[in-house]
Amino acid sequence: MNKLNFNFIFENAFDTFKAFETIPFEISGILIEGHSKTIWQTLNHLIIWREFQIEKLKNINSEIDFNESESWISKSKPMNLNEWKLKTEKFKNQTKQIEKIILNLDLADLKLEKKLKLIQESSTHLSFHLGEIILIARQKNKYPKPEEMNDFLNE
């Protein structure tokens, strides 16, 4: 087994910047002007997308496909705080699963290049949607401004 420290390479690539720990569920269903989806809908989309990617990483040769339009739920907000917490916990658990997959990557794996490409796509996709989520939260004054980020991240 030829190990490379892939954890170091992808360190913080799946970091949520504490987004879901700080965003109150009360704003998760608010549709902001200029946005097409709520935080809740985006979180659910990310969970569905990541389920697909985790399955694909575990079965890289499978022919499973992802349907983008079917990954967006119509329900705009969670029913209650408990539903919000369950979904954010599921999201965190997916992050742990992806990190575990990364830790077990092997240079001798003939499918390594495909796996790394999928991991890169996952990281990029996550960054895009987290940016949207943070922007919505900032518009509602529920997420630190850029000048407050260092203190926030070190809490």
Q: Convert the pLDDT of each residue in 2-42 to its tens digit.
A: 667 777 777 776 777 678 888 888 999 999 988 999 999 99
pLDDT in tens, 42-57: 999 999 999 999 999 9
- The DSSP code sequence of 81-103 is HHHHHHHHHHHHHHHHHHHHHHH
| Helical (H) or strand (E) element with 135 | helix 112-139
pLDDT in tens, 103-151: 889 889 999 999 999 999 998 999 999 999 999 999 998 888 888 888 8
What whole-number distance in Å separates Cα of residue 140 and Cα of residue 64?
Answer: 38
What whole-number distance in Å separates Cα of residue 140 and Cα of residue 155?
Answer: 21
Report the 10 Å Cβ neighbour count for 47. Answer: 18
Measured between alpha carbons, how far is residue 26 from residues 57, 60, 142, 152 in Å?
34, 39, 10, 21
pLDDT at res. 17: 66
CB 3 within 8 A of CB 107: yes
Q: How far apart are the first and last CA of the chain?
A: 39
Q: How far is CA 71 from the centre of its chain?
A: 14
Predicted TM-score of the model (pTM)? 0.89
